[in-house]
A and B are shown apart, each in its own frame.
Chain A
Amino acid sequence: MTRQLIELDRVEKNYGEVRALTGVSAEIREGEFFSLLGPSGCGKTTLLRTIAGFEDLSGGQLRIDGQDMRGVPANKRPTNMVFQSYAIFPHLSVGENVGFGLRRKGLGREAMAREVGQALDMVGLGGYETRASHALSGGQRQRVALARALVLKPRVLLLDEPLSALDKKLREQMQVELRKLQRQVGITFILVTHDQEEALIMSDRIAVMFDGGIAQLDSPQVLYRRPVSRRVAEFIGVMNFLDASVGGNGADGLEVDVAGLGRVALDPAQCPEGRSGTSTVVGLRPETMTILFDTSEKAARVAEGSVSEVVYFGDMTYYDVTLDGVAAPVTISMRNLPGRPVLDRGARARVGWDAGAMVLFR
């Protein structure tokens, strides 16, 4: 079904002493929206620029469409880039900017104008051809940069934090538009971002990077539900961590004693890193735990504790609950349904939780 478009094989990049990429292997599929997510300095931009051809590899191999990219300069690669600063040529008009890359295609004047017009229409800037490019707003500059790259119909569009310069409202709007645009043109997008929410919203698959390497590459759902390490889990969303000790293999899976919650049996899929030693940590997302307001309310598993902090968000309430026998509180998120009370600090709470959502870390 889906073809591999870009193959990264133990890609390395050193800047003198700095090891910016330490052996990255990944395959990026044709037509997917792929994100590189990670903290500042982890090598996202470097990886993107090696794909674009602005940086030579120090080691490993990079293939695009089955072809080794070694020695192929940026201007000969089937990739185009949307720069973080947008890099709109200030001395050219909007139309000239968008038509810049078409110059070499040998199109006639009319064909070129038509292509430029279509590209501008696509990003919602129809009729802006003659505008001076330095008189554009941030969002408009971003659209021009997109049109300029897309008009060349590249196999891959590379975007380096394209939304980080926009304000929150515009950013959220552009996230949706960008996703729609990608579906519409069907080109592979590789997006660099350090905003986990943005990556979750937009991507088909996400590579989480730390320290020059990929820690996990999965779909947003898998990444959120089954993070492979505590570090990935902490980077994406909020997760409660509880000390645990591993017992033997029981009938329903691995037997684990969790502090404050008691004994559970975990499926092998819930233990991504395998198990070694007895003392470990398990993680639970805030929404996989609930507060049982009604004494009659049933839950598969129940623990007791007291509320140590309440943060009210309108549609949601976040509780910090200190479970009996555990020092650090866990965070629990509850929807504020009609008729549902909001507990006060210090109140006792019965806590229900979903053993199937638990993840075991080394």
Chain B
Amino acid sequence: MSSSDGAFSRWRHSEGAQGLILVSPTFLYALLLLAAPLATIVAISFWTQDYLVMIREFTLANYIRAWTEPLFQTLMLRSVVIAVIVTAATVLLAFPIAYYVSFNVRPERKALWIFLITIPFWTSYLLRVFLWKVILGYNGVLNSGLLGLGLIDEPLTFILYNANAVVITLAHAWAPFAILPIFVALEKIDRALLEAGQDLGESRFTTFLRVTLPLAMPGVVAATLIVFIPTIGDYVTPKLVGGPDGAMISNMIQLQFMKLNNGPLGAALAISGMIIVTAISLIFLWLNRRYLKVRQ
């Protein structure tokens, strides 16, 4: 081992170097196919496009349009509002289920419950969304069922092709992603803590408020972010069940890139959306840390 004296050779055998060498294929892939494209998107958002030709001159025009034109403002605002409502609905609906499975289901049956909860999620996303359209439609399953039972006289119309439908569909689509983190957080709670709470004079309900809920917060926070971030960028649901009043920002991004040949504007919209998502997520995390003392 005479070469083992060289500085480079010694470096090559160090832990840091071996780790770097090992991670480098994956890292290079991410660099080439994620970092570089994202950087490109950022770059072209400052350019303009004339039909198919990119004009590489720095301009803020795309961002100005993205933030001032009423159409884009409406879409962006609607995306945020829908995402907030979907997130709130999903997490609020999910919490009792996670609580039930964690606290009321016998230990040996918990896995079964979790399996039951995740099965619907393994069917095609596209089909699940489409099936909601079938359920909620004018002549859909819900209306025809309710009519057949004589509960309504004419089909309900407020449930399809608007924001309501988007909320229902997305709350369904993201359910397992909200339930699982909360369930994991609840499972981690030492049951003796709850007994201690009651032993110290709290009722069941106040124990829940003062012990269980704070300890479950990390799961709730995780669930909130896991649902919120992709929801705001969802494309399929608004397109299928949203109708004109349910369209969201992704539909516009797709339109700009694929149909209107205005990549720069699409890029500016995409980046604006990402900035908004990131800002809201960070504010949310900060609020949590500040007021609920949730540690990551």
Name A residues whose Cβ lies closer than 8 Å to a Cβ of B.
Answer: 71-72
Contacts and interface: CB of A to CB of B under 8 A. Distances in A.
Nearest to A71: B1
Interface in B1-17: 1, 4
3 contacts: A71-B1, A71-B4, A72-B1
A72 B4 CA distance: 11
Contacts of B1: 71-72
A288 B4 CA distance: 56
Contacts of B4: 71
A21 B96 CA distance: 55
Q: Which 3 A-B pairs have the closest CB atoms?
A: A71-B1, A71-B4, A72-B1
Contacts of A72: 1
B287 to A, nearest CB: 37
A134 B4 CA distance: 40
A71 B1 CA distance: 6
Interface size class of B (residues with CB under 8 A): under 10
Interface string B109-153: 000000000000000000000000000000000000000000000
A17 to B, nearest CB: 15
Nearest to A56: B13
A72 B1 CA distance: 8
A59 to B, nearest CB: 14
A53 to B, nearest CB: 13
A98 B186 CA distance: 44
A356 B138 CA distance: 106
Contacts of A71: 1, 4
B21 to A, nearest CB: 18
A127 B49 CA distance: 79
Interface string B1-42: 100100000000000000000000000000000000000000
A27 B1 CA distance: 25
A73 to B, nearest CB: 9
A265 B230 CA distance: 85
Nearest to B1: A71
Nearest to A73: B1
A71 B4 CA distance: 7
A76 to B, nearest CB: 10
A71 B6 CA distance: 12
A347 to B, nearest CB: 47
Nearest to B5: A71
B158 to A, nearest CB: 59
Nearest to B10: A56
A40 B184 CA distance: 35
A57 B142 CA distance: 74
A94 to B, nearest CB: 32
B9 to A, nearest CB: 10
Interface string B193-227: 00000000000000000000000000000000000
A294 B4 CA distance: 74
B12 to A, nearest CB: 13
A349 to B, nearest CB: 49
A168 B10 CA distance: 45
Nearest to B13: A56
Nearest to A72: B1
B154 to A, nearest CB: 66
A7 to B, nearest CB: 20
B269 to A, nearest CB: 47
Interface in B53-77: none
B267 to A, nearest CB: 44
B104 to A, nearest CB: 34
Nearest to B14: A56
A152 to B, nearest CB: 23
A16 to B, nearest CB: 11
A271 to B, nearest CB: 47
B6 to A, nearest CB: 12
A123 B223 CA distance: 54
A71 B10 CA distance: 10
Nearest to B3: A71
B19 to A, nearest CB: 15
A39 B1 CA distance: 36
A154 B30 CA distance: 46
B113 to A, nearest CB: 29
B18 to A, nearest CB: 13
A287 to B, nearest CB: 46
A349 B252 CA distance: 98
B250 to A, nearest CB: 47
B279 to A, nearest CB: 37
A70 to B, nearest CB: 8
A61 to B, nearest CB: 15
